[in-house]
Chains A and B, each alone.
Chain A
Amino acid sequence: MPPLGSPHQAVAPPEDPTDAAGPSGLERRDFLIKAAAMLAAGVAFPWGGLDVAVLPAQTSSAGATDPAVPAFAISPQADEDVLIRMQRDLARALRKPIEQRRWGMVIDTRKCVACMSCTVACVMENKLPPGVVYRPVIDTEIGTYPNVTRQFLPRPCMQCDNPPCVSVCPVNATWKRPDGIIEIDYDVCIGCRYCITACPYQARTFDFGENWTNNAATGAPAALALAGAAQYENEPNFEYSERWNRANGPIPTSPVGNARKCHFCAHRLVDGLLPMCVTTCLGRATIFGDLNDPEALVTELAASSNAIRLKEDLGTEPKVFYLL
């Protein structure tokens, strides 16, 4: 074996460099710049404009050589973990313009073991405070002894194509992105909680500004680490590719006082990383990817004969599918 990490093991280029459309981290930024420009020009936003705005195709000349392009350099191997397959699917999707992607999720309830790892991983990743839960797992007992079983249902945001939460927002603080993710702008959200009410999946919760250690002792006795606890709680999270400090943001409290919800870890997607609930799923029950990509695992599984969506009759068109 050669020395590990020697130069010849450098990052492999994307499969087709000419197809690389550019750093996907820019899409929302492009959009917002456009929005800001429209504001400056006095252009009125039509209602709903935010969620249907068509962005220009990304014109970056950057590609394979751009360090911002998430590279995925793990070579394929036989029977590889679906996490690796999905991450490769994700890298492929990121080489397309944002409006050609359609992020979706398939949750195989047969593989879900209610380990709650997704729930907690999401809390840790997004530094969610008490009461804010993006992805609970609902554990239900069915039947009467001895004919009884348990059913486990992870419940992220459904990222509906027809999102009731968007239509009810009075300040346009939430919208559907071109890739289908329903985003919340914490700077715009006024905390009215209409969206929380409107969501038929209870996918949104409210940030009341609590912290985990609020009820622990305070003070600075040298013998205990009371002060050390706040250290990680005060670290910013990176939702929507920004740094959000609960204590010290330009608006001091955001995202405190906001509605909050799952965003498929959009801040990870731009770097070619899968959502946290996906990577930490012990049963590999959560499959994620671009539903527009016929080669993607998620697309294949979403078309399974045992696939359903929750509350299909409401017409919300969720992009989260369940395999029963």
Chain B
Amino acid sequence: MTLHGSAPKLSRRQLLKAGALTAGGALLGDLGYLLANGAAPHEVAAGEPYPLNLPENLLYTTCLQCNTQCTLKTKIQDGVLVKIDGNPYSPMNLLPSLDYATNPTQVAPVDGSICSKGQSGVQTLYDPYRLRKVLKRAGPRGSGKWQTISFDQAVREIADGGKLFTHIGEDRVVPGFKDVFVLRDPALAKQMSDDVKALRAGQLSVADFKTKYADHLDVLIDPDHPDLGPKNNQFVLLGGRIAPDREKITQRFTYGALGSVNWYGHTTICEQAHHVAFQYATAQWSAQGGWQVGTNHMKPDYPNAEFVIFWGTGFAEANFGPPPLSTRVSKAIVDGRLKVAVVDPRLSKSAGKGWWIPVRSGGDLALAMGMIRWIIDNGRYDAAFLRNANKAAATNGAESSWTNATWLVNPASGKFVRASDVGLGDNAHFVALVNGQPTAFDPYDPVIPVVGDLDVDTTIAGIAVKSGFRMLKESAGQNSLQFYAQESGVDLGTVVALATEFTAHGKRAGIDFYRGPIKLTYGYYAAQALIALNYLIGNVDHVGGFTPGGGSWDFMGAKPGQPFPLDQLHPGALTKFGIKLTRESSGPYETSTLFHGYPARRPWFPFTFDVYQEVIPAAYAGYPYPIKILWLHYGTPALAAPAGYLQIAMLRDTDRIPLFIATDVTVGESSMYADYVFPDLSYLERWSNGIGTSPVVLTKNTKFRQPAAAPITEIVTVDGEPMPLSTDTLVIALAKRLQASGFGRDALGPGMNLNRTEDYHLKMVANVAWGDKAGDTVPDASDNEVALFRKARRHLPSAVFDEAKWRAAVGPHWRRVVTVLNRGGRFESSAKAYKGDFVAHAWGKLLDLYVEPVASGTNAMTGTRFSGVPVYETLRAANGSPVTFAADYDLDLFTYKEIWGGQSRTVGNYAAQMALVPENFVYLNSVDARRLGLREGNVVRLESPGFPGTFEILPGQTQAVAGRVKIMEGIRPGSVAVSWHYGHWAYGARDLQIDGERIEGEPARGKGLVPNPAMSVDPYLKDVALTDPIAGDSAFNGTRVKLVKVGEGNTQDMPSSGSYNRESTLGVSVPFSSGDTAWMREQSLKAARGELDPATLVAEIERRLGPPPLPAGKTRT
């Protein structure tokens, strides 16, 4: 046996086995065991080195435990994905990230960082309650009774429809996809779509439309309302966490293949007002196209900023997200460069690192308006920046972007004055005052600078006009600073101090926000106010300022020269048209055939999209039309939407939602009501489309999910192709059965099939590998890299990884695709973040302090115009009436996220959520606890007007919104906070019966409470949460609740201090009395310090306590 040198590495255990044969003693347990069992020397085998740093055991993919979607390095052991870390090629996990050119073999020993829920993703993958086979309902909706059926049967049934549930006593005829896939002629669809546009524009009457299409009226939902579109729109795909992830393949199916407009993401239960406000605050204008929305996100350049306000968000929980944020912000704070303030009614982890401003929940808009007012009143804004009216002025002023602050607005119409309005030119030019003189300009003129007057209120050519800045000033001036301070719950001195600090760092300051301040009916204005504060200090594009981030390569291949322009590679695609079920992005109410004055039957949302909470209520209400098929993908509105419990009864209604299918990884709180549940792959087993990254990362990057783990779901055959059950598989199989375009043979063009998911997704990788322009291409992978690529996938079945099929999908691009997949995406060098005084990927365009398109829009319920600048508002119902609360509803309810949890899909993470904090609590300040006579551990129910504290899951089965009180100091008095992630009634928490066999749920998954049912229902509509009329965002905040004590409860396993204290729940269990424990600890310390002989100590312990109680199987020899 060689002990030294480069002999095969032997493990200690094996050496011990060998040594035992000569040792002849049994002091060491292993030796004793081996001797007793006559172990033979042949058991000594070659060593078993640590496998998790070997390049062939690593695969790089992308997380989906939250929407930050961090880049991952996954580690495979014995074919099992056992460990997840951060991808060191990516600036989300390492900063600076490693040189992209570095060989994966060299990178293998480097692990990047990833958060706790990312770490526990292994348990999302291997969740015992993961679905493997298709389930068909074997009892009433929600009964929990299922039968397994073959995939082929399931596809046949949902495609063809029919009497699908006669065996359980339902005689109805269920519509199938064939019943909605009615308009199939692409030419007809295009023609009808154009004519519906003409109809909306007032250029064609309904009668003329009906005459023109007399032979085809049967394809329409309602021939008297052609603008509702074809019956195809009666198919609705409602996605939970679907974008950015699989929006491309599911939209290809919904839009191009099936011709339905009704595809939805979940953004309005996330942060839509943030996105919408940014999109309009960065909208660009062109004479040809009018206003086009811009980016949906900007963030401070944390590493170089001097002062950042985290407003209703932070860097250590949620946001976008802790892995990239914490690394940057923690370093900047400790290095002394950055000071942070955190505006939040709760002392978040981030707030613990800075200046905590405990705003009243919902008081954010008041605080922001107060700051705007103070900054304008005191001249603390960057006037030089704001006066630049066009590109040339910005360039002259050493700026990159410019605003419309000086552009003149006609307050009567809400619109900007065009040169043509005042006799100064055409309607492609805007007007500003330059030293009092009206001056027309092109916003993008690179040569002639226009530096306008900022604060304008005058009359030109008979038109009363004001500058955009003036509009903001007057809006902020509607209320006094004292009023804003009082409404925000922040004392006046602090408001001024915050505004002073914010304006004391030049351009090296910024406000970061996401969800906290905007989950209200006035969320859009709150978001706009926070964006305006950034614009007022002129921080956009500057180092240490505010940045749109590094952006992404064009994975859809729309750039000239890219190999696969995927949006165009869809021969026979249908043109979708018609009003969306939610009346979102569907033009103004007034131009529709449904217009009948105000109020409309339900709100219209021309400025937003993904109005998630409205989809099912609209379908149930049949406005603007009834639906036939609901496909719920990886979403759970019943749990996750405010007041979403109201949707349970709607989902159970087989008349109004005749066919309800779901794709999901488990049977969840909403998919439990489906007719069919199709198993989906988890994020670790499948593809995604290309995914960009939030502006936390200043360099360009595009990441992909790719199959890292072998699939858990059943492997089926579609058209002769084996593949695991998944959403992609269902889309392909259904499209093929329906003979829809876009999938199957030649579906991407002659010779380009789409038979397998990688036929589509690998082409996106090829586009990114090729780059955005000629010369931007990544190098081909070497033979070694290709060999590594192959070896690292040896655990994947051929149904997933068939190299020949993968190669065929991208042809000559194969080797560069390998280069990208071997690194989990494409990442620009971190060294390219900055260019001089600016971020390298600067916005460099117009910034809209005043938003003309929103200002010229009308609320379909009230008939009133929206505002182009933020205005102070309070909570309102859909019809505009104020929402108020009786005095006994005395606590502001708000939610937050812990870092180990996502909204609804981390309860199966045993090592993270379930172990760290098995249950959430009702957090209350000690002041309120005393006032209400509540003690820690008491069980309380949350009640709000109209909500009695419980809701119905099934007839006769109720669920309480109740939890134990946890008293803390780090929460604003008058508030109650309940975190996300808990209170599940499905997702493994509930018993199932499958093929007659009962499968028990796991009670631990049902612990804690979900606060959403207590959130306000719109008092006018009565079937949906309060909703922001501009952004369509649902109001998670704004509800006032009362706590009703329903039990004494206890404090068992509760944190001993603060919100969370691991020490108290540690399993430090010793079978000794506290007195003996203290004595033993003291004596062993003495021995450790050399003051006592250890042998004496052990003898003394045994004399005092007797022999130790040993666990089963252990003996002392």
Contact = CB atoms under 8 A, between A and B. Distances in A.
B1070 interface: yes
A138 B78 contact: no
A40 B133 CA distance: 59
**10 tightest CB-CB pairs across the interface, nearest first?**
A141-B1058, A131-B1067, A192-B1108, A36-B19, A150-B352, A167-B1087, A113-B316, A198-B1084, A187-B30, A136-B1062
A271 B5 CA distance: 15
Contacts of B113: 83, 117, 279-282, 284
A167 B20 CA distance: 26
B969 A4 contact: no
A224 B50 contact: no
Contact of A5 (B98, B105, B1113): B105
Interface string B882-912: 0000000000000000011000000000111
B825 interface: no
Interface stretch (B115-123, B398-406, B580-588, B640-648): B115-123
The residue in B4, B81, B899, B1083 that gathers the most chain A C-beta atoms within 10 A of its C-beta is B4
Contact of B1070 (A130, A167, A197, A267): A197
B596 to A, nearest CB: 49
Given A60-B4, A136-B1063, A232 B12 contact: no
A7 B214 CA distance: 71
Interface stretch (A97-105, A240-248, A291-299): A240-248
Given A208-B1067, A229-B126, A29 B10 contact: yes
A44 B52 CA distance: 39
A33 B19 contact: yes
Contacts of A169: 1098
The residue in A121, A238, A253 that gathers the most chain B C-beta atoms within 10 A of its C-beta is A121
A190 B96 CA distance: 47
Nearest to A196: B1070
Contact of B316 (A32, A114, A200, A215): A114
Interface string A85-129: 001000000000000000000001011011111011101110110
Given A62-B4, A139-B1060, 15 more contacts: A3-B779, A22-B5, A39-B25, A39-B27, A113-B349, A124-B119, A133-B1062, A133-B1066, A137-B1062, A208-B1067, A250-B33, A273-B50, A281-B113, A282-B316, A315-B1085
Contacts of A160: 1088
The residue in A115, A128, A281 that gathers the most chain B C-beta atoms within 10 A of its C-beta is A115
A238 B53 CA distance: 12
B1057 interface: yes
Contacts of A243: 11, 13, 48
The residue in A62, A137, A225 that gathers the most chain B C-beta atoms within 10 A of its C-beta is A225
Contacts of A271: 49-50, 53, 109
Interface string A267-283: 11011111010011111
A133 B98 CA distance: 32
Given A32-B15, A168-B1098, A221 B333 contact: no
A133 B1067 CA distance: 8
B1065 to A, nearest CB: 9
Interface stretch (B268-276, B321-329, B367-375, B613-621): B321-329
Contacts of A68: 6, 9
Contacts of B52: 238
14 contacts: A5-B782, A32-B12, A68-B9, A80-B96, A83-B112, A121-B119, A131-B1069, A137-B1062, A187-B16, A190-B1115, A205-B1066, A216-B128, A250-B13, A271-B53
Interface string B96-140: 101101111111011111111011101100111111110100000
A138 B148 contact: no
Interface string B722-742: 000000000000000000000
Contacts of A75: 99
Contact of A198 (B146, B925, B1081, B1089): B1081
Contact of A123 (B127, B356, B911): B911
B781 A216 contact: no
B3 A26 contact: yes
Given A194-B1080, A232-B80, A168 B1101 contact: yes
B34 to A, nearest CB: 7
B463 to A, nearest CB: 50
Contacts of B969: 141, 143-145, 148
A264 to B, nearest CB: 14
Nearest to B777: A1
Contact of A225 (B129, B350, B1089): B129
Contact of B53 (A9, A60, A273): A273
B110 A197 contact: no
Interface residues of B, number: 175
A196 B105 CA distance: 41
Interface residues of A, number: 159
Contacts of A9: 101-103, 106
Contacts of B1003: 215
Contacts of B778: 4
A168 B1084 contact: yes
B1059 A141 contact: yes
The residue in B81, B971, B1084 that gathers the most chain A C-beta atoms within 10 A of its C-beta is B1084
B1114 interface: yes
B159 to A, nearest CB: 22
B782 A235 contact: no
B1044 interface: no
A250 B45 CA distance: 14
Interface stretch (B82-90, B842-850, B951-959): B82-90
B774 interface: no
Nearest to A146: B358
Contact of B3 (A29, A79, A123, A252): A29
Contacts of A282: 113, 115, 316, 322-323, 326-327, 330
Given A70-B109, A168-B1087, A149 B347 contact: yes
Contacts of B1108: 170, 190, 192-194
Nearest to A51: B1094
B29 interface: yes
Nearest to A237: B82
Given A72-B109, A191-B1111, A5 B1080 contact: no
Nearest to B994: A223
A219 B995 CA distance: 14
A273 B112 CA distance: 12
Contacts of B80: 231-232, 235
B50 A116 contact: no
B1063 A202 contact: yes
Interface in B915-952: 915-916, 925-927
Interface in A141-189: 141, 143-146, 148-152, 155, 160, 162-172, 185, 187-189
Contact of A124 (B29, B78, B347, B911): B911
A258 to B, nearest CB: 8
A130 B4 contact: no
Given A4-B781, A5-B105, A193-B1071, A140 B1061 contact: yes
Contact of B1062 (A66, A108, A139, A227): A139
The residue in B356, B911, B1095 that gathers the most chain A C-beta atoms within 10 A of its C-beta is B911
A73 B106 CA distance: 6
B358 A200 contact: no
A141 B1057 CA distance: 6
Contact of B94 (A59, A81, A120, A227): A81
Contact of A250 (B19, B30, B334, B1071): B30
Contacts of B927: 145
Contacts of B1060: 114, 139
Contact of B350 (A11, A59, A66, A113): A113
A217 B9 CA distance: 40
B28 interface: yes
B970 interface: yes
Contacts of A81: 94-96
Contacts of B1081: 164, 197-200
B724 to A, nearest CB: 12
